[in-house]
Chain A
Amino acid sequence: MAKHRNSGWWIALAACCVVSVCALLVGASTPATTIKIALQAPITGDYAYEGQMAKQSVEVAAELINKAGGVLGKKIEIVVIDDASNPKDSALAAQKAVSQKVVAVIGSYGSSVTEPAADIYERNKLVSVGYGCTAVRLTMDKERKYFFRTCGRDDAQGLFFGKYAVETMGAKRIAIMHDNSTFAKGVADEAKKALEPYIAAGKTQIVYFDAITPKEKDFSAVVTKLRETKPDVWYFTGYYPEAGLLIRQARDAGLSCPFVGGNAAINNDFVKIAGLDVAKGAMMTQEPLVTDVTTDIAKQFKSLYMEKYKELPSSPWPVYAADALYAIAGAITKAGKTDSAAIADALRTKMAGVQGVTGPILFTERGDRKDVPYKMYVVDSQGALKVKQ
């Protein structure tokens, strides 16, 4: 018996040696000539399209920044890390970003996916700038020193909708629908909260508040039920694949009230899915779209993106990912060094004059983006989104 045990040890030792040699070969890294910035995004999984567009956007932005001379004289290098929109993979992806010694991280998409990653970045003192995570609690529940986001918060959007629906549209019966995802439920809850004072004042009422099941295709039962509540306005806070199906099936079922989508609900694909005849007139609560921004950066970004990928990103989030890169690059330039604490400090206090694709980027003390103006957009007769007058 003792003999076998010995040979076991020998094998173990040999294996360890081989592995260490390999490691030495791999570990011999080159000195940093670039500034490495990680993009943590769902490249695979349910929101793969968002992640892949975010990758394209960030790469376009990086190319533009590098063309203009880079940051602190160095080129920006983007490291893409997939989190498959799954919290466990997100934690691993964050750990990977940390061990690759990146300067800062862009990411991620989805609040419940971002949360575990943000905890890890916080612990490792690494700046992360979220681009598609809108839950209020990310910045308000815990104080995070190194977490920022370029997208707006659920409550701002919910508040905007509530005010608009009651005061501008004069809706007496409001229907709110979400899809049980973190984001959609967040906006729906905030919209409901925003309506409460109006309800107390007897100005309006919520006649419908329920969820659909995402990834399904037939919502005829839901829209039939919705029709029977006779809403004046119908707010859907979920995503465009379902939104497109919902509005068409609702019109088929004879529901004609105005449709308002959250800022993930309407884009070119929504119009394609719903069909132009149906999509026309659909509204959307939305921060300024890249198409409406006329700054130089936006123009450059749009033309390079079109040149590379033939069409603009179909949702607003990838553009916020590009914004996150501009914010990080701007902060590094202002701070003059790539130290995390300095970057975080610069992001909070020294961002005056830093421009992103969607305009100036300023952050609050908590790390939220300052002054995210919401506007009501509407699908015009050509299927393009225009600010509603």
Chain B
Amino acid sequence: MDITKSLLDRIAKAGQDHEHKREAGNDAGTLRRARNRKRLLVVAIVAIAIAPFFPFVDDYWIDIGFYFGIYTLLGLSLNIVLGEVGLFDLGHMGFYAIGAYTTAILNTALHIPIMVLLPISAVAAGLFAWIVTAPVIHLKGDYLCIVTIGIGEIVRLTMINNPFGLTGGPNGINGIDSPMIFVPIISSRQFYYFVWALIAIVIFGLVRLQRSRIGRAWNYIREDETAAEALGVDVRHYKLAAFVLGAAIAGLAGNIYASKQMSISPESFTFMESSLLFCIVLLGGLGSIPGTVLGALAITIFPEIFRALAQYRLMFFGLALLIMMVFKPAGLMPRLRESGEELRSTLSKRRRGKKATLGDERHEVPQEHQAPSLLGDALLELKNVRLSFGGVTAVAGFDATVEAGKITALIGPNGAGKTTLFNLITGIYKPETGTILFKGKNIAGLPPHVIAAQGIARTFQNIRIFPSLTCLENVLCGQHCRGRAEFTGSLFHVPSQCEEEKTMLDFSLRCLERVGLGDSMDNLAASLPYGKRRSLEIARALALCPDLLVLDEPSSGLNDVETEELAGLLLSLLHEGLSILLIEHDMHLVDMVSDHVIVMQSGRIIAEGTMRDMRKNPLVIEAYLGTEED
């Protein structure tokens, strides 16, 4: 959690800087930056393409360009795990080693051509990643970090110990063939173009993933795992997917490395190398593809520049790392978020002439998940729900019913167990006993993302938005579990995925407009003032198309005007057929909107009924209202 938190802080800060500039230059800054990026991209492509043809670029420099490419591939693969999802991976070289050894063993023993082994190595590395990370993926931050270090070291030591005579021990394996693409690839220049062509393909795919629901899901997890899960993102699935994809790309790099070197040995896959990969991603900027390329360039070029310093070489390398971090802590090229327009335009490029702008086409949102429920039906029923923390009973045998089409308020003094109850309903905690029926089905103990998909959306007491994403992207999180597109769809832009994505974009924009944030859709969430952040959270929950909206103190921190607006919003949502359950301390608001009030103390219901009844109830007055209303 600490990592996510610090990531958050850090990204929020980067976001703020970004935002200040934007405000100062009235959007011109961002535009200029995006334009500069485009220019830089052109320059970079040209430079990489023609570099080998300069008269002074001999094979040595071309080889450096090749290793720059290998590190770029490795950096990109780690960037998925570390940059996009924020998982601390310090053993990434292990996956690279699996790819390299798969190639080496199968090529030398069975003489399978290198190009056939290219996908096989990727699959082997991905499969290996899946097997070893599946049991540990639930570990948090640093605990996961030491496990990845362990995995990296276990791979390396196993290779050294030569199990079944497969890996050749510390000597490694020699005599690996060269790849054949119509002609054998042997010269430095051929390898250089080979690796960079592959990088181009990988980057193309990664950019598409970044702009799809998968890439966003990764970012949601990085920004706030709990919030992402509560809004329907299958955190475990996407974390594993990131590891598998990252490992597969590292496996590709391993294949090319093995065929270029013609011999491999465990010395190439040390912990130090894994740490360097880590530096590449951080030097470039988390989650930033151009940044990763730049980081890889820095890591490959520094040692070569310092070569003349002989034994002082690594000393200066260390110093350079330090200085870069001190002066450029957010990385050389931090990730820029795409505007809604950009997201939209990439989807409908084929129809260039009549480019529809976002929000023009109104797509109907699929409603099939919204089971029609009648006013007064029991939407959510809690029966004998109990949970205790180390002897302290937080929720004690709770029975309650939330009726459809009504606003139910849950009130009670601090520490009464209200938020705990919310966490039980939304699956963040599992009840010790009891059942929670939602639309007649027991949801007790189901994981949060499943519960969310069934139609319960929530907000949090201490706001949990995704600060470094745009408002639109924040809201798209709610739509995540309504989408179906997986990797293939997102990579190849199949028509159904494009349609789905457009629908999601349009619907999310409508949700934003609904809470009055339509104009800020491209602003970073971190730049919003406090009250608007609450609205953003509600918009995000609405985007899930829930049956039941669960709001945890939605009015806290709002001024009177904003509270009025909130009340208006809640009532209008109610009229559209949404049921709402809220925790609230503002009795005025409760009075204005609620149909039914449940009063909770020490994990139990002490009274229930309308607000008017509650005012008269002596138990309630004693426990709660008396002190508050004075």
Q: Verify whether A and B have any Cβ pair under 8 Å.
A: yes
Which residues of A come within 8 Å of B, CB atoms? 4-5, 7-9, 11-12, 15-16, 19-20, 23-24, 26-27, 43-44, 48, 52, 80-82, 84-89, 91-92, 95-96, 98-100, 111-113, 115-116, 119, 123, 135, 137, 141-142, 180-182, 185-186, 211
- CB-nearest residue of chain A relative to B317? A44
List which B257-298 residues lie within 8 A (CB) of chain A. Answer: 257, 260-265, 267-268
Interface of B is mostly: helix
Which residues of B come within 8 Å of A, CB atoms? 35, 38-43, 46-47, 50, 54-56, 58-61, 63-64, 67, 160-161, 169-172, 174-175, 186, 188, 257, 260-265, 267-268, 303-304, 307, 310-311, 313-314
Among B47, B64, B188, B268, point to the contact of A87 (Cβ < 8 A).
B268
Please tell me if the beta carbons of A82 and B171 are within 8 angstroms of each other in the complex: no
Closest-CB distance, B391 to chain A (whole angstroms): 43
Among A8, A48, A95, A100, point to the contact of B39 (Cβ < 8 A).
A8
Extra pairs beyond A8-B42, A99-B58 (8, CB < 8 Å): A8-B39, A23-B54, A43-B311, A88-B261, A95-B188, A99-B60, A142-B174, A180-B170
Please tell me if the beta carbons of A185 and B42 are within 8 angstroms of each other in the complex: no
**A99 to B304 CA separation, bound complex (whole angstroms):** 14
Closest-CB distance, B457 to chain A (whole angstroms): 40
Please tell me if the beta carbons of B313 and A11 are within 8 angstroms of each other in the complex: no
Please tell me if the beta carbons of A119 and B43 are within 8 angstroms of each other in the complex: no
Chain A residue contacts of B188, Cβ below 8 A: 95
Please tell me if the beta carbons of B38 and A141 are within 8 angstroms of each other in the complex: no
- CB-nearest residue of chain B relative to A178? B170
Chain B residue contacts of A15, Cβ below 8 A: 43, 47
Among B60, B160, B268, B311, point to the contact of A48 (Cβ < 8 A).
B311
Chain B residue contacts of A98, Cβ below 8 A: 59-60
Chain B residue contacts of A88, Cβ below 8 A: 67, 257, 261, 268
Pick the most buried of B175, B186, B265: most chain A CB atoms within 10 A of its CB. Answer: B265
Please tell me if the beta carbons of A137 and B267 are within 8 angstroms of each other in the complex: no
Chain A residue contacts of B257, Cβ below 8 A: 88
Closest-CB distance, A188 to chain B (whole angstroms): 11
Please tell me if the beta carbons of B265 and A96 are within 8 angstroms of each other in the complex: no
Please tell me if the beta carbons of A95 and B59 are within 8 angstroms of each other in the complex: yes
Please tell me if the beta carbons of B311 and A44 are within 8 angstroms of each other in the complex: yes
Q: With A82-B313, A95-B60, A185-B170 in contact, is A87–B264 under 8 Å at CB? A: yes
**A185 to B172 CA separation, bound complex (whole angstroms):** 12
Among A5, A12, A24, A95, point to the contact of B63 (Cβ < 8 A).
A95
**A44 to B307 CA separation, bound complex (whole angstroms):** 10
**A137 to B50 CA separation, bound complex (whole angstroms):** 39
Chain B residue contacts of A52, Cβ below 8 A: 311
**A317 to B313 CA separation, bound complex (whole angstroms):** 23
Please tell me if the beta carbons of A87 and B262 are within 8 angstroms of each other in the complex: no
Question: Would you mind naming 15 contact pairs between A and B with Cβ atoms under 8 Å apart?
Answer: A4-B38, A5-B42, A7-B39, A16-B47, A19-B54, A23-B55, A52-B311, A82-B310, A82-B313, A91-B63, A112-B263, A137-B174, A180-B170, A182-B169, A185-B169
Please tell me if the beta carbons of A12 and B42 are within 8 angstroms of each other in the complex: yes
Closest-CB distance, A161 to chain B (whole angstroms): 19
Please tell me if the beta carbons of A186 and B171 are within 8 angstroms of each other in the complex: yes
Q: With A12-B46, A80-B310, A87-B264 in contact, is A115–B39 under 8 Å at CB? A: no
- CB-nearest residue of chain B relative to A101? B58
Closest-CB distance, A171 to chain B (whole angstroms): 26
**A4 to B31 CA separation, bound complex (whole angstroms):** 12
**A349 to B257 CA separation, bound complex (whole angstroms):** 37
Please tell me if the beta carbons of B307 and A82 are within 8 angstroms of each other in the complex: yes
**A295 to B9 CA separation, bound complex (whole angstroms):** 71
Please tell me if the beta carbons of A87 and B265 are within 8 angstroms of each other in the complex: yes
Q: With A12-B46, A92-B67 in contact, is A87–B261 under 8 Å at CB? A: yes
Chain A residue contacts of B172, Cβ below 8 A: 87, 112, 115
Q: With A95-B59, A95-B60 in contact, is A86–B267 under 8 Å at CB? A: yes
Closest-CB distance, A101 to chain B (whole angstroms): 9
Closest-CB distance, B231 to chain A (whole angstroms): 36
